[in-house]
Amino acid sequence: MDDLRIYNWVLSAPEIISLSACPVRTCSQSTGCVACPPGQTSPLGSVASSACVVPCPAYAAFAPGTTTCECSAGYTGPAASCAACAAGEYKALAGPGACDTCPAGTGSLPGSVSSVACGPPCAAGAGPGAVGCLCAAGQYKDTRVLNPPYAQRDYSSINANTHSNSKLDDLLDTQTWAPTSNSVGEWMQIDTGSPMSITGIISQGRGSVDQYVTEFKIQYKVLLADSYTPLNQNFTTPSRDKIQHTFAMPIYARYVKILAQS
């Protein structure tokens, strides 16, 4: 299976307004949502300054409804030092539990989050894993690019039910995908059509207007019924130009959700 990057979305959300539940990094007081002190964060919907804590380490996230950090799916160990499951392993749930081993005769990428990622091993001389096999010494392979059709895209909302031109370079009448409000957490989901190794995405701002999302996060899953796994990276876009965002480690997924942060 070739690696690929997703040609993904364009957004016109240059600023943030508060949600009814206070966004991450804020807590609720009588005057509204208040920013946590510098260097601290809080879970979504926090209601007291006591919820402001130091962010979780890399590859860890708050356990649901708490400020306790735990390793994300695909990672194991104590939250202070989460380590990716090795090639040939996977881990579907967050927490300190051990990684599961792929069935005999199969392999997976490091950090895999589902048994679906386990598949035939790579050819002799190539790196291990069912997908994203490393080329053997003396060989190379170009990265493919995918630009899924609109039938494979879903949105949290669409401004005026018309601003849904989210394919790269599809800037009809200078429109883009624009949500109904500039709120943290507005999202677009892309269905790649089948599970595959994904190494990054390409973003693009609005065609003739200087509007674009400046920060976003990624979540992903293999099956539609699965829970989303957050990618432990924040991505920034300094302009409305086409910008390539490479993941620190390839993910194995079919559904990729892009969540606007600012």
What's the pLDDT at 172? 53
Is 83 inside any structural domain? no
- Write out pLDDT tens, residues 56-91: 888 888 888 788 899 988 999 999 999 989 888 999
Distance CA(78)–CA(87), nearest Å, equals 20
Is 205 inside any structural domain? yes
Tell me the two tokens of residue 108.
């997976």
Is 213 inside any structural domain? yes
pLDDT at 254 over 60: yes
The CATH number that applies at residue 188 is 2.60.120.260
What's the pLDDT at 141? 63
- Write out pLDDT tens, residues 122-171: 665 555 443 446 566 676 666 677 788 888 888 888 887 777 777 777 66
DSSP 8-state class, residue 31: T
Is 86 inside any structural domain? no
pLDDT at 201 over 60: yes
Q: For the CA atoms of the chain, what is the radius of gyration?
A: 19
Residue 8's domain spans which residues? 4-16+144-260
Judge whether 190 and 153 are in contact, CB under 8 Å. Answer: yes
What's the pLDDT at 7? 38
Helix residue ranges, H only, the chain = none
Judge whether 17 and 35 are in contact, CB under 8 Å. Answer: no
What's the pLDDT at 16? 30
pLDDT band at 17 (very low <50, low <70, confident <90, very high): very low
187 three-state secondary structure = strand
Judge whether 13 and 178 are in contact, CB under 8 Å. Answer: yes
Given phi > 0 = left and psi -120 to 50 = alpha, else beta, which region is 12? beta
Model confidence pTM above 0.75: no
Number of structural domains, the chain? Answer: 1
pLDDT at 12 over 50: no
pLDDT band at 199 (very low <50, low <70, confident <90, very high): confident
Is 57 inside any structural domain? no
Q: Identify each DSSP E strand in the chain by its residue range.
A: 4-7, 26-29, 32-35, 60-62, 69-71, 75-76, 83-84, 89-90, 100-101, 144-146, 153-155, 187-203, 215-221, 229-230, 235-236, 243-260
- Write out pLDDT tens, residues 204-230: 777 667 777 788 899 988 888 888 888
**Residue 138 CB partners (closer than 8 Å, separation 6+):** none
